[in-house]
Amino acid sequence: EAECRSVTLAVDEALTNIIRHAYQGQRGRPIQLSCRYLGPAAPGRPQARLEFVLVDRGRGVDPAELRGRPLDEVRPGGLGTHFIREIMDEIEYERRGDCNWLRLVKYLTKQKSSETSGGG
């Protein structure tokens, strides 16, 4: 449950950053969000993963901005990138034509079932 809340926070922060920075606060602009489950089938990928891809047509982003800043240099309201980097396991940003593509991946941890955790 905590992992679910963390992933929700990271995706929410990414959406907020698109609205604030790529669209500069303009309302009614399109954002495409897709989510898919990626099983552990690939060699070298023992864990299942969730992949989120966010696509917008806002202004481009300097990839250096996505790296975040040291916490002592962060402005109020500027922790979104920090949270995303702390929560997600893979982050990729790319400008394709007139679109920004942000790919976020979270490796899924195995959950104990109620039987193995003594919950009956």
What CATH number corresponds to the domain at position 7? 3.30.565.10
More confident residue, 64 or 10: 10
Give pTM, 2 decimals: 0.80
pLDDT band at 33 (very low <50, low <70, confident <90, very high): very high
The predicted pLDDT at position 52 comes to 99
The predicted pLDDT at position 35 comes to 98
pLDDT band at 10 (very low <50, low <70, confident <90, very high): very high
Sign of the torsion formed by the C-alpha atoms of 72, 76, 81 and 86: positive
In-domain check, residue 38: yes
Nearest to 14 by CA among 114, 73, 75, 91: 91
In-domain check, residue 115: no
In-domain check, residue 113: no
In-domain check, residue 43: yes
Instruction: Give the count of domains, the chain.
Output: 1
Return d(Cα 20, Cα 93) in angstroms, integer. 17
Tell me the chain's radius of gyration from C-alpha atoms: 17
The predicted pLDDT at position 34 comes to 99
pLDDT band at 40 (very low <50, low <70, confident <90, very high): confident
More confident residue, 118 or 2: 2
